[in-house]
Amino acid sequence: MHTTHHKGRGAGFNPPNRFEELEVGPPPSDLAQYFDDPDPPSGVETRFFLDHSRSILAQNDSPDLGFTYSINPYRGCEHGCVYCYARPTHEYLGFSSGLDFESKILVKRDAPKLLEETFSAPSWKPQVVMFSGNTDCYQPVERTLELTRQCLQVFLRFRNPVSIITKNALIQRDLDILVELAKEHLIFVVMSVTTLKPELARTMEPRTSSPAKRLETIEKLAANGITVGVNAAPIIPGLNDVEIPAILQAAAERGAVRASYTLVRLPYTVKELFTHWLEREMPDGAPRILNRIRSVRNGKLTSSEFGKRMRGEGKIAETIQQLFKASCARYDLNKQPLKLSTDRFRRASDLQLQLL
């Protein structure tokens, strides 16, 4: 322990705050089968803090998102995806959207309890809730804390439908709960696949599961009767747009029945982070890729305009959309509409009556 005498001060160091900072140990050894962990980050220690939020569902009013409520047990994300549009949200917490976003993680330890309280309220109307509307609910710390798993148990107990989007194979750990949700038509899982190239994924999404593990996860979920889809996202023009057919084919062959995509979004400081990464990792291709992104963003690197921010505009954006649609048709994706059940919902009072 490093201590220093500061003139006029009694304490020589800052001990950890036993109420605010969490000490997170190694995950259980039986979870090793779900991972092919990348090298741990060097030089920057991941720290975890308690988030004292009094509610757990975030309400969305964006017309181009297909859900009203989302749940995020964690703020910040260890996955470290360089393009992540959620990075600027860390600035509201007094942190940076750069290294802080992936190394200072806020943990909502009360998430399961708050979710149960929400579903128990007479005002709650059963509807689909999206897991990971902002940061990934299966990021590495979930191996130890199991907050997502505990929340899924609440969804099952109340029979409220839930949709999950993730990049992490850890979701396989919770197959027992997902299978029970699937029996009641309460679950839809989307695996996000940005690229099939392991080297590119490793540098662009350093602490996510490998592409092979993600495809394996799609296969295992589908084999267990869980409706699963693939999200080819984000599509970065000039970098991974050519992979759309291969990603959709690989996912469909493993049991995915639905597919979606979004174009890369680089709001605020994410533009600088992504540009720096691109110039560092692929200096020869950086100018071309940045120009392609500008071509779908009306000369800029991002757009927040509803109706355009997810799909872009211009000829390249139209070509990407046509390629996606043609690939979906070729691999029989999005053939049937998806509808999760809300008529199976039951409150705690209903459960008590059943016991009587």
Question: Which residue in 247, 199, 234, 224 sits closest to 312, CA to CA?
Answer: 234
Q: pLDDT value at position 19?
A: 43
Percent with pLDDT over 90 in the chain: 77
pLDDT, tens only, 177-208:
999 999 999 999 999 999 999 999 999 999 99
* Dihedral angle computed from the Cα positions of residues 83, 89, 95 and 98, in that order, rounded to the nearest 10 degrees: 0
Q: Is pLDDT of 5 > 50?
A: no
User: What local confidence, expressed as pLDDT, does residue 37 receive?
Assistant: 65
Specify the higher pLDDT residue, 3 or 189: 189
Give the number of other CB atoms < 10 A from CB of residue 189: 23
Per DSSP, the three-state class of 76 is: coil
pLDDT at position 20 over 80: no
Both tokens of 193, joined, read 């696949």
Predicted pLDDT at 303: 87
Q: Between 98 and 25, whose confidence is greater?
A: 98
Q: Whole-prediction pTM value?
A: 0.90
pLDDT band of residue 4 (cuts 50, 70, 90) is low
pLDDT beyond 80 at 356: no
Domains belonging to the chain, first-starting first, are 39-335 (3.80.30.30)
pLDDT of the residue at 309: 82
267 vs 278: CA distance, rounded Å? 16
Q: Please, what is the average pLDDT of the chain? A: 90
Q: What is the mean pLDDT of residues 78-88?
A: 94
Would you state the structure tokens that stand for residue 122, as one six-digit string? 């007479």
Q: What is the arithmetic mean of pLDDT over 244-270?
A: 97
H-helix or E-strand spanning residue 259:
strand 258-263
- Range 148-161 average pLDDT: 98
Element (H, E) at 192: strand 187-192
What is the arithmetic mean of pLDDT over 22-50? 75
* b/e burial code for range 225-238 (CB count within 10 A of at least 16 → b): ebbbbbbbbbbbbb
**Could you tell me how far CA 51 lies from the centroid of its own chain?**
18
Q: Residue for token digits 């200096």?
A: 283
d(CA 190, CA 159): 20
- Tell me the range of 57-61, 65-69, 322-326 where mean pLDDT is highest: 322-326
Interior angle at CA 227, CA 330 and CA 84, nearest 5 = 80
Please tell me the distance from the alpha carbon of residue 55 to that of residue 69, in angstroms, as a whole number.
12
Q: Are 106 and 56 in contact (CB under 8 A)?
A: no
Q: Any residues with CB less than 8 A from the CB of 34 and at least 6 apart, and which?
A: 169, 170, 172, 173, 209, 213
